[in-house]
């Protein structure tokens, strides 16, 4: 090591992420390690497509978690020698982005309608150029080893061509069609939105009872509704066919109050006999269920609410132009005037809202483009059933299949300006669907754009150059795995599987891991609007990227978890620990002539740490491959803190300071393998330490990932050292109990040659053929009386200890005295209990 480097290492007693991370990252970028050649086949290569963050986005904790998981796997595979691509990109995020830019314009006093479509989309592009880059920087801060040179955007030219081809192809296959259908109309964004973008919330409304007179009779049918303002669009009243009260009315008519229209009384199973009076007004134009009933019975579909959220002319002169809320008040007033309002009561029910705009959804019938899903779903169901796509944890497989089995048509058109314009042109009665504008004059393109998820659905292959037959596709499709939040399992994952099979000829990934949701510290959802979000960049500033990555992986789980600051701190502690342990090793060893780890180390502790190292490598690798990141992080932590630092380094210190060449080989080799093992989780600190390592011949990011050498794992060595450690702890515990200051060396009678040397040293006991009064026996060694011993404390503690052991002995004796236990339990369990009993009795004897 050069003097300057040595000096720096000597002086730096902490890992300082802030000063180092950017430099380390720049080194990786310079090396071009994240930008693989498109060579080889997808089978031999490793690839991952990042869930594209929204361009509107600021990196949030979900991205950070997802990125930490994917990067761990990507780095591990890259180090394992695979040609590895992790593709980065951004989603144009139709509604979200349009909303952001509209808000901006609004603050300048401009509406998008004033400047027009072209100027507006221009503004969005400008905005994208300005802010889109920040996502990239944020991923770099996290240390994500994505291919920054292959970045894609779901609205770039090549991608747009792929989208048009998909749409056209689906149309030609007959899956895409245009229809008047009930959609979730979002008055906020002035667009239809899909079922999946609707959130239901509990609301308390008034349930009104309205009397509908039956034609040619004195009878009235009382119907209950929370939406009296839609009654002008009623076209029937329905009762349950089993409902005897109304059996004779089926087929006759009643009269719609305020309007005077004759409404047929129909029978339909959907009607709940118990609810209200058992008679349901049917409004096919403004209610999803009523729409279904209406289609079943061939009812007329009337709209009294327009796309602007105001009452139309069909609602009648008195209500035309009113907002829905105003109309409700006025309709109730009118019903009172007519004397047909027979009841009002509070009613709690769930009401649909737009996830994006937050406004109450208005179910409307409108002309939209739809995609029929059954044919696309069938092979995607098969792929998951037969395991070509593996979804874990297992319960999500069921959720996926259940949703796919009941899949409904997908409304793919959106009344927005920002997005992929639907590739359909109209001229008079003619309709043309194609990838480019048709020949001839007078063609006008459809005004709508496609649902953002329509373009996200083809992400894994569109990013690789589909529909062209590119080297990238050949080398990296299908990808290997996907981590995702469960909320987009349907919106995104399912659709990628469908389009992947249909268009790219294979499933888009082999493994889907549905990760947990990290909640805010208080258990609420992390959300910008609630102000509960925790900024990952702030956490990185404070603790370093490695700490955040470790923390997120350590707190991740299959169930939702609260954000845990202590876990991030644990990550920071681990980084510091690695740093300092490395200082001890690197500053006190000479670069050995033989850089290999000795095959047959002489020292017991050397064989022990190498055994622990190799089994940790095996365990951590397996856990990461199983996506059990939390336990992988835990294993790393306890290996470094406990095995390596608390025990091995302490045991080996005298030899280290003596310059023992064999211990140097063990230490430097162990450090090399430990750094490489930890690198996928904590890339920065490991790379920084590697810079000081004498074996370094390039960046750690492309160093080979350790493969566990199982021949070094020795159960007998681990047991032997494990027992010696337990013994050391016993001696230390006894000392502490006896109130002996750490500086005082205790004297004990015994044969020191029966135990490893370090026991007495670390236990701070002088074991030998001493003479004197034995006051206690600890693990077979007689502690000699001395002035430092607090005999009162000792006697008190011995009494407590004895009580505990005796209780335990009684418990086990009871168990072994139970004939049923002895007869039925497996022999080894019984033997274990007997062994335990023996040990406790021995311990009791020792206490004297």
Closer residue to RNA, CB minimum distance, 534 or 737: 737
Residue 677 C-beta: closest distance to RNA, Å: 17
Residue 93 C-beta: closest distance to RNA, Å: 18
**Cα distance between residue 789 and residue 611, in whole Å:** 39
**Cα distance between residue 249 and residue 304, in whole Å:** 27
Strand boundaries in 530-679, DSSP class E? 561-562
Q: Return all residues near 629 (Cβ < 8 A) that are at least 6 apart.
A: 68, 69, 72, 553, 554, 556, 623
From first CA to last CA, the distance across the chain in angstroms is: 56
**Cα distance between residue 114 and residue 813, in whole Å:** 88
The packing angle between helices 565-587 and 683-690, to 10°, is 10
CA angle 80, 85, 87 (to 5 degrees): 145
Closer residue to RNA, CB minimum distance, 13 or 39: 13
Residue 786 C-beta: closest distance to RNA, Å: 17
Q: Return all residues near 723 (Cβ < 8 A) that are at least 6 apart.
A: none
> Parallel, antiparallel, or unpaired for β 84-90 and 46-49?
parallel
Backbone angles phi, psi at 787, to 5 degrees: -65, -25
Closer residue to RNA, CB minimum distance, 337 or 832: 832
The packing angle between helices 683-690 and 661-678, to 10°, is 150
**Token duo for residue 732:** 């230390």
Q: Give the Å distances, CA to CA, from 333 to 208, 258, 271, 327, 700.
A: 12, 11, 28, 10, 76
Residue 793 C-beta: closest distance to RNA, Å: 10
Q: Which H or E element spans position 334?
A: helix 324-338
Residue 17 C-beta: closest distance to RNA, Å: 9
**Cα distance between residue 278 and residue 222, in whole Å:** 9
Residue 151 C-beta: closest distance to RNA, Å: 30
Closer residue to RNA, CB minimum distance, 318 or 577: 577
Residue 547 C-beta: closest distance to RNA, Å: 8
**Cα distance between residue 314 and residue 256, in whole Å:** 14
Closer residue to RNA, CB minimum distance, 80 or 638: 638
Encode burial over 731-746: b for 16+ CB neighbours within 10 A, e otherwise. Answer: beebbebbebeeeeeb
Closer residue to RNA, CB minimum distance, 90 or 713: 713
Q: Name the DSSP class of 305.
A: B
Closer residue to RNA, CB minimum distance, 26 or 800: 800
Q: Give the Å distances, CA to CA, from 614 to 401, 516, 639, 713.
A: 40, 30, 11, 6
Listed residue (89, 105, 88, 87) closest to 97, CA to CA: 105
Residue 737 C-beta: closest distance to RNA, Å: 6
Closer residue to RNA, CB minimum distance, 433 or 517: 517
Residue 225 C-beta: closest distance to RNA, Å: 18
DSSP secondary structure letters along 521-550? TTSSPP-TTTT----HHHHHHHH-HHHHHH
The contact set with RNA (CB under 7 A) reads: 13-15, 195-196, 200, 350, 395, 398-399, 402-403, 406, 408, 486-487, 490, 519, 523, 525, 555, 557-562, 564, 566-567, 569-570, 572-573, 575-577, 580-581, 583-584, 630-631, 634, 637-638, 641, 645-646, 649-650, 653, 728-729, 732-733, 736-737, 741-742, 815, 818, 820-821, 824-826, 829, 832
Residue 647 C-beta: closest distance to RNA, Å: 7
Which strands form 765-768's sheet, in the order they lie side by side? 765-768, 746-749, 781-784, 774-778
**Token duo for residue 197:** 């973008």
Alpha helices in 32-178 (DSSP H): 61-79, 94-107, 112-142, 157-172
Closer residue to RNA, CB minimum distance, 29 or 488: 488
Residue 342 C-beta: closest distance to RNA, Å: 25
């Amino acid at each position: 090591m050069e003097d300057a480097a040595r000096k720096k290492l000597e002086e730096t007693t902490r890992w300082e992420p802030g000063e180092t991370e950017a430099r380390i990252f720049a080194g990786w970028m310079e090396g071009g390690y994240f930008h693989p050649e498109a060579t080889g086949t997808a089978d031999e290569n490793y690839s991952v497509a990042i869930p594209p963050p929204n361009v509107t986005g600021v990196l949030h904790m979900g991205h950070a978690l997802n990125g930490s998981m994917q990067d761990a796997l990507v780095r591990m595979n890259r180090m394992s020698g695979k040609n590895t691509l992790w593709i980065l990109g951004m989603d144009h995020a139709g509604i979200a982005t349009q909303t952001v830019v509209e808000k901006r314009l609004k603050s300048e006093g401009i509406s998008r309608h004033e400047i027009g479509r072209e100027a507006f989309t221009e503004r969005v592009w400008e905005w994208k150029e300005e802010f889109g880059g920040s996502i990239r920087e944020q991923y770099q801060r996290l240390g994500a080893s994505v291919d920054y040179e292959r970045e894609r955007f779901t609205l770039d030219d090549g991608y747009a061509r792929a989208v048009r081809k998909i749409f056209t192809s689906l149309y030609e296959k007959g899956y895409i069609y245009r229809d008047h259908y009930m959609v979730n109309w979002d008055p906020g964004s002035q667009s239809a939105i899909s079922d999946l973008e609707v959130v239901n919330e509990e609301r308390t409304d008034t349930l009104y009872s309205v009397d509908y007179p039956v034609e040619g009779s004195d009878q009235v049918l009382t119907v209950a509704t929370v939406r009296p303002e839609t009654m002008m669009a009623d076209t029937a009243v329905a009762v349950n066919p089993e409902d005897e009260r109304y059996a004779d009315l089926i087929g006759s008519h009643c009269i719609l109050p305020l309007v005077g229209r004759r409404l047929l009384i129909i029978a339909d199973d959907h009607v709940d006999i118990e609810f209200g009076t058992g008679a349901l007004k049917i409004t096919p134009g403004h209610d999803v269920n009523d729409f279904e009933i209406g289609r079943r019975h061939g009812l007329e579909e009337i709209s009294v609410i327009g796309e602007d959220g105001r009452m139309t002319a069909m609602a009648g002169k008195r209500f035309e132009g009113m907002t829905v809320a105003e109309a409700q008040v006025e309709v109730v007033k009118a019903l009172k005037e007519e004397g047909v309002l027979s009841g009002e009561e509070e009613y709690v029910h769930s009401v649909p809202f737009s996830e994006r705009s937050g406004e109450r959804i208005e179910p409307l019938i409108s002309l939209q483009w739809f995609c029929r899903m059954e044919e696309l779903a069938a092979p995607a169901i098969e792929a998951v059933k037969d395991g070509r796509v593996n979804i874990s944890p297992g319960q999500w497989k069921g959720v996926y299949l259940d949703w796919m089995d009941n899949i409904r048509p997908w409304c793919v058109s959106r009344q927005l300006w920002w997005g992929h314009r639907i590739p359909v042109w109209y001229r008079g009665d003619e309709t043309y669907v194609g990838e480019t504008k048709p020949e001839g004059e007078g063609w006008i393109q459809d005004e709508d754009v496609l649902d953002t998820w329509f373009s996200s659905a083809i992400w894994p292959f569109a990013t690789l150059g589909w529909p062209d037959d590119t080297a990238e596709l050949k080398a990296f499709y299908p990808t290997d795995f996907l981590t995702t939040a469960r909320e987009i399992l349907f919106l995104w994952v399912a659709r990628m599987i469908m389009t992947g099979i249909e268009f790219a000829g294979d499933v888009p990934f082999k493994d889907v891991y549905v990760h947990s949701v990290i909640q805010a510290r208080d258990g609420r959802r992390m959300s910008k609007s609630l102000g509960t979000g925790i900024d990952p960049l702030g956490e990185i500033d404070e603790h370093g990227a490695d700490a955040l990555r470790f923390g997120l992986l350590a707190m991740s789980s299959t169930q939702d978890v609260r954000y845990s600051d202590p876990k991030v701190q644990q990550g920071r502690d681990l980084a510091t620990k690695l740093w300092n342990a490395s200082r001890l090793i690197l500053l006190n060893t000479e670069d050995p002539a033989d850089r290999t780890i000795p095959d047959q180390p002489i020292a017991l502790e050397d064989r022990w740490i190498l055994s622990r190292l190799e089994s940790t490598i095996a365990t951590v690798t397996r856990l990461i491959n199983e996506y059990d990141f939390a336990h992988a992080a835990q294993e790393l932590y306890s290996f470094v803190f406990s095995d390596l630092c608390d025990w091995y380094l302490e045991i080996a210190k005298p030899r280290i300071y003596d310059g023992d060449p064999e211990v140097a080989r063990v230490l430097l080799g162990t450090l090399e393998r430990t750094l490489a093992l930890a690198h996928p989780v904590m890339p920065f600190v490991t790379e920084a330490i590697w810079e000081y390592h004498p074996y370094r011949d390039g960046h750690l990011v492309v160093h080979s990932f350790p493969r566990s050498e199982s021949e070094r794992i020795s159960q007998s060595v681990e047991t032997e050292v494990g027992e010696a450690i337990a013994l050391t702890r016993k001696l230390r515990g006894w000392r502490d109990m006896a109130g002996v200051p750490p500086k005082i060396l205790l004297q004990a009678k015994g044969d020191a040659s029966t135990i490893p040397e370090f026991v007495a040293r670390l236990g701070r006991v002088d074991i030998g053929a001493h003479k004197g009064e034995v006051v206690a026996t600890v693990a077979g060694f007689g502690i000699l009386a001395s002035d430092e011993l607090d005999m009162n404390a000792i006697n008190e503690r011995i009494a407590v200890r004895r009580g505990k052991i005796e209780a335990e002995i009684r418990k086990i004796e009871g168990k072994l005295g139970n004939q049923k236990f002895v007869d039925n339990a497996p022999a080894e369990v019984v033997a274990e209990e007997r062994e335990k009993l023996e040990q406790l009795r021995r311990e009791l004897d020792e206490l004297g």
